[in-house]
Amino acid sequence: MTIFLKIIQREIPADIVYEDSHCLAFRDVNPQAPVHVLLIPKKPVASLDELTEDDAELCGHLLLTVPKIATLLGLDGGYRTVVNTGPHGGQTVFHLHIHIMGGRNLAWPPG
């Protein structure tokens, strides 16, 4: 069981900023920007590589939820989304998640 599943099940506290029947968003405990939120599906999917055709509706829902969360967080000047996939991609928690970061000018390239 991942730490994110424990957050979904309320076994571990988190600063939740958004929740609906399909997903949950909470502030990152190690923020890389003034605003740094993680959006996770409630369905445990390890990474982008583990998605199937059956997950198409869930993926669409997650992507359509990102701008709603950005608006809630006041990210009117723009924001960055990141999905790390696999160890070489920087993924450290193997539960699909979208980083939503903003609150300052974000430089490129990121890493």
Active-site positions?
97
Question: Residue 77: is it exposed, middle or buried by C-beta count within 10 angstroms (0-12/13-18/19+)?
Answer: exposed
Q: Which long-range contacts (CB under 8 A, 24 or more apart) does 18-26 make?
A: 18/65, 18/68, 18/69, 18/72, 20/65, 22/58, 22/61, 22/62, 23/61, 23/62, 23/65, 25/65, 25/69, 25/100
DSSP state of 53: G
